Structure 1
């Protein structure tokens, strides 16, 4: 990640950690656009996850390409973008452009019991709680990310991000 002020902030972490909640709050505070990477999954990928089957790297390839283009356009245009995206593996983050000028990464973390409880309460999402263990096993903790505790209040997390990058 660059020390320069980012034009794109990717909020990453496993399912249920609060990426969408924090990402949308951060975007609102900054006056930036918010996108949730989940909305870019193909119907086939959504059906697979809803059935409790973890996606493969091949399943994610087209999705990552679409997201990478979204990020590249935001950096090029100079407009602010906050993207909520699992980005669990280093190879996915590289494909998204993490490490390039203008792209910053926030890694949200929470204890497994908190994640499980959040997923159980979340009724309108395609990702079942049964896939949490798979996500935790897949997660490759990022280097150089701003790591935040997702059990903290959202306004506090937004302030931490803004302070970290002087946004």
Structure 2
């Protein structure tokens, strides 16, 4: 899809395990790109949030409807000629493939990569989030790193949010 100026509207999933900064990076990336930001966690059904809050990892069966909804939201934005940035863990290749199919068009991923120690520190320092630190290891065990997949930009989180977003924008920019 293109906007009125003729430039392509982007659809971007900011992905990674809990604590990597998906929400902060996604919101700032969307602002800098002039796109709408959607907090993927807000699209989880209440039962999923309750499971995670109790320290119970989600199963694939828990995740499929949530991922489908995110893909539909991306497709709807693209169908309306709008770009969109969504935060979503997208931990497995099969999850990303489902998002690509449901989105029905070009979909980019910004993979936020960081060390276990840094992720643990960030999770331990935040307040008001339903995801307990205890689930980090299960997310890391589930993660299938997206290296080599089409449309994926990998960015280290061992820097400021502004620098992470700058790296993401450079990675998303069309090649000359």
Q: TM-score, normalised by structure 1?
A: 0.91
Question: Offset at 1:5?
Answer: 5.2
Q: What pairs up with 1:87-98 in 2 under 5 angstroms? A: 87-97=90-100
The CA distance in 2 between the partners of 1:48 and 1:101, in whole Å, is: 32
SS in 1 for 2:55: coil
Asked if the contact 2:75/2:105 (under 8 Å) is kept, the reply is: no
SS in 1 for 2:111: strand
1:57 maps to 2:60: yes
Q: Secondary structure at the match of 1:97?
A: helix
Q: Which runs of 5+ in 2 are unaligned?
A: 1-6
Please state how far the C-alpha of 1:166 moved relative to its aligned partner. Answer: 2.6
Cα distance between partner residues in 2 of 1:162 and 1:114: 23
Matching of residue 126 in structure 1 with residue 130 in structure 2 = yes
Q: Report the aligned-residue RMSD.
A: 1.8
Q: Please state if 1:34 is matched with 2:37.
A: yes
In 1, Cα distance between the equivalents of 2:142 and 2:84? 26
Deviation at 1:102, TM superposition (A): 2.6
Q: Which residue number corresponds to residue 10 of structure 2?
A: 7
Higher RCO structure, 1 or 2 (CA under 8 Å, sep 6+): 1
Query: Could you tell me which residue of structure 1 aligns to residue 107 of structure 2?
Result: 103
| Structure 1 residue ranges (4+ consecutive) displaced by more than 3 angstroms after TM superposition | 98-101
- The corresponding residue for 2:46 is 43
Number of corresponding residues: 164
